Amino acid sequence: MKTALKSAALFLAIGSSFTFPAGQSSTEVLAHSTTSWDGNSLKGVNLKNPEVHVLRIAIAPHSRLPIHKHPVINAGYLVKGKLTVVRLSDGKKLELKAGEALVEMVDEWHYGENKSDEPAEIIVVYAGDEGQAITVLKKEEP
């Protein structure tokens, strides 16, 4: 198992698609970037005790996630449905559909919204320091 993970990590680090011998498995790069989806450079991260979280987030039809930001680098893959990500500072939007990936913004207030009649599901990987918050909710004014 560890060898397979190391091999997959190596191929992802190279940043190219690769087919394993005899078509047993394959790797496809879904996202590879030095910027977030809004075009801003990713902020440098110096991790003393790295910790990775992998979350599956389900967003019900016609619902909106709370306004939040991520103090850590993260990236996601929309498994099913449609999702709109909105940056709060200027209203800039990213429209995602199933099968698309994004490199998320760091330290920018935003929210995700599912405007469709179908559930949306996204897998997100966060990399930060052990014990560090991966999401901070904005205190909404009454």
Residue ranges per domain, the chain? Answer: 1-30, 33-137
Task: Please state, in angstroms and rounded to a whole number, the distance separating the CA atoms of residues 96 and 37.
Answer: 11
Q: In this predicted structure, what is the pLDDT of residue 108? A: 95
Q: In this predicted structure, what is the pLDDT of residue 46? A: 81
Assess if CATH 2.60.40.10 describes domain 33-137: no
Q: For the chain, first and last CA: distance in Å?
A: 51
| Local confidence pLDDT in tens for the 142 residues of the chain | 333 333 344 344 444 555 556 667 777 788 888 888 988 887 777 889 999 999 999 999 999 999 999 999 999 999 999 999 999 999 999 999 999 999 999 999 999 999 999 999 999 999 999 999 999 999 977 6
Q: In this predicted structure, what is the pLDDT of residue 95? A: 98
Inter-residue contact 27 to 8 (CB < 8 Å): yes
Q: What pTM was estimated for this model as a whole?
A: 0.77
Q: In this predicted structure, what is the pLDDT of residue 34? A: 83
Q: In this predicted structure, what is the pLDDT of residue 86? A: 98
